[in-house]
Amino acid sequence: MKAAIRLLALSVGLSFFMPGCTRQAPSVSTQQRTRTPDFVKGADIGWLPQMEATGYRFYNDQGVQQDCFQILKDHGINTVRLRTWVNPSNDPASGHCSKEETVALAVRAQKWGMRVMLNFHYSDSWADPGKQVKPAAWQGHDFPTLLNDVYTYTHDVMTALKVAGITPEWVQVGNETPGGMIYPEGSTANWPQLAQLINRGYDAIKAVSPASKVILHLDQGNNRERFKTWFDNARAHGAKYDVIGLSYYPYWLKGNPDYTLSINDLDANMRALIQDYGKEVMVVEVGGEDTKVQNTYDMLVAVQRKVRALPSGKGLGVIYWEPQGARSWSKYPLSAWGNDGRPTKAMDAFLVE
């Protein structure tokens, strides 16, 4: 996510809601809701433990209070994406996501039948194109020590998941890294070092969980030149990975926030990435305005169809970033949840085949 998004979440309202929405639940067959989850329909839900801890209540389409996982599952979600930070604070919106909290949430997700993606930010808080701040505990370390920090920390978190019975299907090394990660050593200004840091993360993941697929992730999924430059460098410097992750937020695109003006560029970029690097691709972050529900619904349907139509089955799926992170709690404008504590119609897009 872009730094501007993160700033919107720093002021947290602890509001509670009673049911009041009249929107009817979609007409969906039991077969649709229980089919084998091959295509990823996902939700990044890192805020969920904090929301619940503050007393936020989740309601289904009929206004009945339910576990958020149940509501997500009933809207077609089969995968969760969880971020983890090295030594986070207790700040409600920009803290939490420790190893322990992440493992506990992954265990809970698995009990609900969800597939799991783990996202290593390699920071103590948000890492994104605007900031890639080195964890405080790693400050002052020389580069060989920093490589060891990445390996040891990654191996430790992966081991904790394994002990808890969790095998994440996908693991991200870095979050939205167009300029690199773990600055300054891992900046794209020094690709040889960035590639080494990536590979230490990759090696630690595979040492614990060989079946997990490693994702490298950039923002602006419609920006072909951004991805070509970055992944050409990744290839030239021997960076190891299995899947290319893309963010797609029309809301944040300068000059063209209407998704219809950029979605064909997203499609063209994904196809080019598959052709150029032979990798699978996934839209690991997507979101639309909570005040433009129909537009967000239409965008989500369109993005899923573009990913499904990619050649050789290399389009893995689509993940909404914090759909349950209602603006009334987070101040974040791109959730898919209403002020009444219910999912908006936008979530119905994940029920469309």
Could you give the residue ranges of the DSSP H alpha helices within the chain? 3-8, 30-34, 48-53, 68-74, 99-111, 143-163, 191-208, 224-236, 263-277, 293-308, 327-330
0.75 exceeded by the pTM?
A: yes
The closest of 175, 182, 191 to 234, measured between CA atoms, is 191
Burial class (CB in 10 A: 0-12, 13-18, 19+), 345: middle
d(CA 171, CA 151): 14
Residue 27 lies in a domain: no
Mean pLDDT, range 237-266, rounded to an integer: 94
pLDDT tens for each residue of 4-25: 344 333 333 333 333 333 344 4
Residue 42 lies in a domain: yes
Residue 237 lies in a domain: yes
Residue 95, pLDDT score: 67
Residue 26, pLDDT score: 41
| Confidence check: pLDDT of 281 > 90 | yes
Q: Residue 287: give its domain's CATH number.
A: 3.20.20.80
pLDDT tens for each residue of 155-205: 999 999 999 999 999 999 999 999 999 999 999 999 999 999 999 999 999
Which range (16-20, 100-104, 205-209, 307-311) has the least confidence? 16-20
What token pair was written down for 198? 């990536």
Pairing relationship of beta strands 115-120 and 170-173 according to DSSP bridges: parallel
Residue 99 lies in a domain: yes
Residue 103 lies in a domain: yes
Residue 246 contacts residue 271 (beta carbons within 8 Å): no
pLDDT tens for each residue of 17-50: 333 333 444 434 333 333 444 899 999 999 999 9
Residue with tokens 């505990």: 137
Residue 1, pLDDT score: 53
Residue 1 lies in a domain: no
d(CA 310, CA 280): 10
Residue 17 lies in a domain: no
Spell 223-232 as b/e; 16+ CB within 10 A means b.
bbebbeebbe
Question: How many domains in the chain?
Answer: 1
Chain-wide mean pLDDT for the chain? 90
Residue 90, pLDDT score: 82
Residue 96, pLDDT score: 86
The closest of 113, 121, 207, 111 to 158, measured between CA atoms, is 207
Residue 155 lies in a domain: yes
Domain that holds residue 232: 37-351
